[in-house]
Amino acid sequence: MNYSKILKEVKAEVDLLELEGHIANYIPELAKVDPDRFGLHLQCIDGTHFDFGDSQMKFSIQSISKVLSMALAMKLEGVAMWERVDVEPSGNPFNSLIQLEHEHGIPRNPLINAGAIVIADILVSRLANPKVDFLTFVRKLAGSEEIDFDLKVAESEAKTGFTNRALANFLKANFNLKNEVEEVLDFYFHQCSIAMTCRELAETFMVFANHGCLLHNGERMLSASQTKRINAIMQTCGFYDEAGEFSFRVGLPGKSGVGGGIAAIHPQQYSVVVWSPPLNEKGNSAKGMAALELLTTKTGLSIF
């Protein structure tokens, strides 16, 4: 597959599109990001790399981090975690209070905010030094010590995270949060603030394309069964109430974040990360969605 040629075509075609989108300005620090940034990095299972644009610039991965926290929780907690969070698509906005109330404090899946807060609670209980240990896990997946929290973003989220506090308090009231609300949210806000480049994030997501093994050293981080389930949840729940649209248009397991990033994988083929800050009305990168649709269309390959 001539990925160099394909990515050149993808960028040229996306650049011609007139896509409406808005930066996630409800998090003040994210509102400062240049809306014209656009980068993509694709890493193949054979270790080759292809990219364009701003793929070496750090950005806040936001909700893409929920896949990584879910993976670590599955590794530590096993099947017991599914007693506290479900695996069904939400069909609602990522921060819906109504859905959580309707379902009596059991979040619909780990990739909406309420579910990710429950996963954060599990990690706060399980890890000796939660923020440091989680960052160590992410760095290991990425094969890089250059990964870190963006403390300005974490602080910005903490100051404006009123809906997340409401979700956490409702979880606490329904006995689905074991630790103190502010302790769990502090971990959650830091988790979402992690800054990575497209290349670093593509390397990180290779574990999900490679049956749970790190590509850079072969170490097994997750079982094949755990990896299969994580990919299934990404496929059905990774884009909130636009998950069906992403499956229809792109056909890959993936996860978006309001920082403008999308990470996706083709099992045993590649991982790909695209970053463009302006979001569509569902909270997903407008250019990112278009770029990945063109990628799978031009290659003629998806999981379907």
Q: Is there a catalytic annotation at residue 270?
A: no
Catalytic residue among 258, 272, 273, 274: 258
Burial of 75 (0-12, 13-18, 19+ CB in 10 A): middle
Distances (CA, A) of 231 to 54, 206, 238: 27, 12, 9
Catalytic residue among 11, 66, 172, 287: 66
Q: What is the DSSP letter of 18?
A: -
The Cα–Cα gap between 150 and 32 comes to: 14
Q: Is there a catalytic annotation at residue 124?
A: no
Catalytic residue among 69, 240, 272, 274: 240
Asked if residue 42 lies in contact with residue 51, where contact means CB atoms within 8 angstroms, the answer is yes
Residue type, 165: R
Q: Tell me the two tokens of residue 255.
A: 């996860």
Q: Where are the alpha helices (DSSP H) in the chain?
A: 3-16, 65-77, 97-102, 113-126, 130-142, 151-160, 162-173, 181-193, 198-209, 224-237, 243-249, 286-299
Q: Is there a catalytic annotation at residue 3?
A: no
Compute the half-sphere exposure of residue 44: CA atoms within 13 Å on the CB side of its CA.
10
Catalytic residue among 55, 60, 63, 271: 63
Catalytic residue among 3, 188, 270, 285: 188
The Cα–Cα gap between 26 and 153 comes to: 12
Q: What are phi and psi of 217, to 5 degrees?
A: -145, 0
Asked if residue 63 lies in contact with residue 279, where contact means CB atoms within 8 angstroms, the answer is no
Positions marked catalytic: 63, 66, 188, 240, 258
